[in-house]
Amino acid sequence: MKHKIFVEGIKCYAFHGCLDEEARIGGNYIVDVELITDFSLAALHDTLDDTIDYVQVNEIVVAEMAIRSKLIEQVGQRIVGRLQKELKGILALKVKITKINPPINGDVDSVAISIEV
């Protein structure tokens, strides 16, 4: 059976970007994680060990967002890698990172990347 778990709206203040200003000042980011799994046993037995722990998902995202990168593409790939390595039962996943108010020449609310595996 396939089930989805969503951990959405993880808010982070981080220092990603190619500009020196971004490294000094930082900015706001939102990370959304979608996990495809089978939590049939968890639903049947009401046990956390039989599903993906949302706390661990949040901790991985926050830890990786705290490591500076020039590109959110790299941060997204690190998050995907750690989720796959550290959490059992993931059949597929999607990570979306949204950078709020990016410093680009234009009136843009946000930019985002998404990685699906």
Taking residues 83-95, what's their average pLDDT? 98
Instruction: Report pLDDT for 105.
Output: 86
Residue 99: active-site member: yes
The predicted-structure confidence for 33-79, as pLDDT tens digits, reads as follows 999 999 999 999 999 999 999 999 999 999 999 999 999 999 999 99
* Whole-number Å distance between alpha carbons of 43 and 4: 13
* Whole-number Å distance between alpha carbons of 115 and 117: 7
Sort strands 27-37 and 92-100 into parallel, antiparallel or unpaired.
antiparallel
* Whole-number Å distance between alpha carbons of 106 and 102: 9
Mean confidence (pLDDT) of the chain = 97
Taking residues 68-93, what's their average pLDDT? 98
Look at residue 32 and tell me whether its pLDDT is greater than 90.
yes
CATH among 3.20.10.10, 3.30.1130.10, 2.60.200.20, 3.40.50.300 for 3-116: 3.30.1130.10
Catalytic residue among 4, 85, 94, 99: 99
* Whole-number Å distance between alpha carbons of 110 and 98: 6
* Whole-number Å distance between alpha carbons of 61 and 4: 18
